[in-house]
Structure 1
Amino acid sequence: MSRSLVIAHDYLTQRGGAEKVVLAIARGFAGAPIQTTLYEPADTYPEFEQVEIRTTGLNRFGWLRRHHRYALPFLARSVSATTIDADVTLVSSSGWAHGFRTTGRKIVYCYSPARWLYQQDVYLGEHASWTTRAMLALLAPWLRHWDRRQAKTADAYIAVSRVVQQRIRDIYGIEAEIVHPPHSYSVTGERHMPRGASDELAASGFVLCVSRLLPYKNVGAIVDAFSDLPHQLVVVGAGPEEARLRGRAFKNVTFLKELSDAEMRWLYAHCDSVIAASYEDFGLSPIEAAAFGKPTVALRWGGFLDSIVEDVTGVYFDRPAPDAIAEAVLRCRGRSWSSDAIRAHAQTFSEEAFIAKLSSILAGVTMPGGRG
C-alpha cells in the first residue's frame, strides 16, 4: 500500500493464535511497525524481533510484561492515551487495541469482543481467585462503557468467524465482514523432535493438543478423557492452569511448551490427530493439522464450525466432557481419512489468501468514497 500503515495489537507477551496472525499481517504488510501495550521478547515468538515494535509507557514495568493479566486495570487508560499517527491502522484485537487513538482510518480485525467482559464465567472458569473476580466486578461496568465507545471509533470491523461476527453484532451493533485467519506453518520446513518427546512416542500414534492452559480451553477435560484411553496425549502450551493439569494427568500424558516452529512441525507430522475442546473463536490448530493431512477431534462450537468439515477433516463431540471426548477420539481413530482431502481444505486458509482479503477491505475503506 502506498499509504502509511501501522499494525496494532493488544500485547505481545505470549505465544498463541492471535500472535501468529499478527506475524502473518506483518509479513503481508512488510515494513509496517506494530504498536502494542506490552512486549516481552522472551515470552512470545522470536520473529517479532525482526519488526519495529512500539510500546506504551506500561512496558517500563517488567513485572507487567511477564504477567500481563495483572495489567488489566491500566490497559484501557494506556491505549486511550496513545495516538497512532498513520493513514491506516490495522488493529488486531481481542479487547484492548481497538482503543488506540488514530489520526487516520481504523480497521479492526476482531478475534472476539473481550471475553473477560462479556463471557466472564467461561473465561474465568471455576478456579479463579476471589480477588480476580472482585476486581472484574469492580471494573466491568466502566470497561464495558469504554469498550463499546472504542468499538464505534472504527471505520470497519472484521470478524474471524461466524460466531464472532454474531457476537460483534449483538454487543456493538456493528456488521462485520468475515476473514478467516491463516495457518502459517510450512510443511516442508525443518523438523526437530522436541525435548520430552521420543521415537517411541511417535511410534505410539499420539493425539496432539495445542492450547493455552486457560479455563475456557477445557484442556482438563481432555486430560481426564485420556485417563480412560490407552493412547498417548501430548499437550503443548503454557498458562495459569499448568500446575493443576500436570497434577491430575496420567502417565500417558506428556506436557511440552515454548516450542520452535521446527518442533511443532515434528509434532504435527508424527501425530495421528489433533484434539481441541475449547470455546474457541476460531482455533488455528485444526487448520495447522490439516496442512499436514491430519484430522481433528473438536468441540462442536464456535470457530471450529468454520474450520472443520465434519467427516472430511475431522469429527465433533457435543460436550467438553471426558466421556464425550473419549468416544470421539475412538471414533476418529476407528475410521480412515483422506490426507489429500484434508490438505486441500487447509489450502483455502493460506496466508496469501488472507492478506489478499485484508488488502481488499483496506482498499475499500480507505479509497475516496469507500466504506469508512
Structure 2
Amino acid sequence: MKKVALAHDHLFQFGGAERVLLILSDMHKQAPIYTLINDGKITENLIDQSKIITSGLQKIPGINKMFRYFLLQMPKHWEKTDLSTYDLVISSSSGFVKGAKTGNNTKHICYCHAPTRYLWDNKEEYIDKMPEGKILKIFLPKLLDKLQLCDFSKAQEVDFFIANSQYIADKISKHYKRDSVVIHPPVRVEDFKTNQQVEDYYLIVSRLRPYKKVDLAIKAFNNLKLPLKIIGSGSEFRRLKKMSRSNIEFLGEVSDEERNDYLSKCKAFIYPQIEDFGISALEAMASGRPVIAYKRGGALETVVEGLSGTFFEEQTWESLAHKILRFEADKYDGNTIRQHAKKFDESVFRQRINEFVNSI
C-alpha cells in the first residue's frame, strides 16, 4: 500500500482550492496534510486537525494577518519540509508548495490551481498592496524576480502536473515549460436543486474584491435599472454599495441553503470576471440557471453558448448591458443545464484523479 502525503500552500481561508484538498483528503484518509500555516478556527470543522502538520511560520504571533510579509521565507520552509519517506505526494498549489522536498523514489503530483500568482500574472497587484515606502518599492520587484527563478526551478522537480483548467494548463506551459493533464475541480451537484419558480432578478455570488469586477456589473445594472442581488463580502463592499442604485441589493454572507435558493430562482447568474476555472458559475448551472459570462478564462470550459449560458465579448459594462438586453431566459431549459453541470460532478473528479494516480 502506497504511503501518501498531501501538501497545501496554507490554510487560513476557505475557497475552491481548499474544497479540492478536502476531497483529496477524503480519498486518502490516512494521509497527513502539510501546510505552512493553519487557522484552526476556519478548518476545525472541516479537517481533522491531527492530520495537519504546519511549518515554523505557525509559531509567529499574528501570522495569519502578516503572512504576505514572509514571502521570502515561504520557499525555504517548503525546502525544509521533508516528504522523502512517502511513495506519493499530492500537492495542491497556487504558491510554493511544489518546492517541498521529496526523495528519489517519491512521485510528486502537483494539482495546480495557478502558477504562483504574485510572481507571474499578479506581480504588480501584489506590489501595489504592500505598504508605501520608497525602499520597499525599489527592492521588492527585484526580490520577486529572484523568487520567480526559484519557482521555475522547483516546478521542474515536480513529476506530474494536473491543471484545474485548460486556461491554467496553458499558463503552466507558458511559465514553467511543463505539460499537464486537465482535471477540472468538482461541484457536488446533489447539493443544489432546480426550481420551477424563476423570479425577476439577476444574481452575483462573489467575494467583493477588485479582480472580481463586480463594479462592472453594478454599472451595467445601474444603467439598465434591472434588479440585481449580490451575495458576498469583501474589501470592496463599501465602495460598491455607495455606487449602487436602489435596484441593486447587497445580501452579504448568507447560509448555503439561502444561497442555493437564490441560485435556483435567479433569472441568470452574472459572471464578469476572469477566473482560473470558476466554481460559482457551475453551482448556478447545477441549480439549472444560465450564466452570462465574460468570454475569457475558465468560463470558456464550463459555459456552452445557448445551452448553459451566453458570453459577452468585452470586459466593459456596456458589453455586459448589451448582452443582458438581448438575453432571453425562457430559451434555456433548467434540466438540460443541470445535466451539463453533472459532467463536473465530484464523482467524475474522484474517478479521474484515481485513474491518473493508478496510471503513474
Shift of 1:225: 1.9
Change (3 A) 1:118 1:284: same
SS in 1 for 2:262: helix
Shift of 1:185: 5.2
Paired residue for 1:319? 314
Shift of 1:228: 1.6
**Equivalent of 1:276 in 271, 278, 285:** 271
Could you list the runs of 5+ residues in structure 1 that have no partner in the other structure? 190-201, 366-372
**Equivalent of 2:170 in 166, 169, 174:** 166
Could you state the TM-score of these two structures normalised by the residue count of structure 2?
Answer: 0.87
Q: What is the alpha-carbon distance in structure 2 between the residues aligned to residue 231 and residue 177 of structure 1?
A: 42
Shift of 1:58: 1.4
Shift of 1:259: 4.2
Shift of 1:110: 0.7
Paired residue for 2:113? 111
Change (3 A) 1:106 1:36: same
C-alpha contact (below 8 Å) 1:124/1:215 kept by paired residues: no
Paired residue for 1:65? 64
Deviations 1:183-232 (A, max 9, x none): 1353368xxxxxxxxxxxx9853322222333322222122222123333
Q: What is the alpha-carbon distance in structure 2 between the residues aligned to residue 237 and residue 296 of structure 1?
A: 18
Paired residue for 1:142? 146
C-alpha contact (below 8 Å) 1:274/1:285 kept by paired residues: no
**Equivalent of 1:303 in 272, 290, 298:** 298
Paired residue type of 2:25: A
Change (3 A) 1:332 1:27: farther
Shift of 1:309: 0.7
RMSD: 2.8
Matches within 5 A, 1:292-371: 292-333=287-328, 335-365=330-360
Paired residue for 1:199? none
SS in 2 for 1:109: strand
Does the alignment pair 1:8 with 2:7? yes
Deviations 1:268-312 (A, max 9, x none): 223222121222111111211111101111110011111111111
Paired residue for 1:370? none
Change (3 A) 1:251 1:14: farther
Q: What is the alpha-carbon distance in structure 2 between the residues aligned to residue 44 and residue 37 of structure 1?
A: 14
Paired residue for 1:120? 122
Q: Kindly tell me the number of residue pairs found equivalent between the two proteins.
A: 353
SS in 2 for 1:293: coil
Q: What is the alpha-carbon distance in structure 2 between the residues aligned to residue 133 and residue 83 of structure 1?
A: 34
SS in 2 for 1:83: coil
Identity over aligned pairs, percent: 30
Q: What is the alpha-carbon distance in structure 2 between the residues aligned to residue 262 and residue 362 of structure 1?
A: 35
Q: What is the alpha-carbon distance in structure 2 between the residues aligned to residue 128 and residue 316 of structure 1?
A: 35
Shift of 1:164: 1.1
Change (3 A) 1:176 1:210: same
C-alpha contact (below 8 Å) 2:267/2:329 kept by paired residues: no
Matches within 5 A, 1:71-86: 71-84=70-83, 85-86=85-86
Q: What is the alpha-carbon distance in structure 1 between the residues aligned to residue 162 and residue 118 of structure 2?
A: 20
Paired residue type of 2:87: D
Change (3 A) 1:38 1:296: same
**Does 75-84 or 121-130 show the bigger shift?**
121-130
**Equivalent of 2:156 in 144, 152, 155:** 152
Q: What is the alpha-carbon distance in structure 2 between the residues aligned to residue 48 and residue 39 of structure 1?
A: 11
Paired residue type of 2:144: A
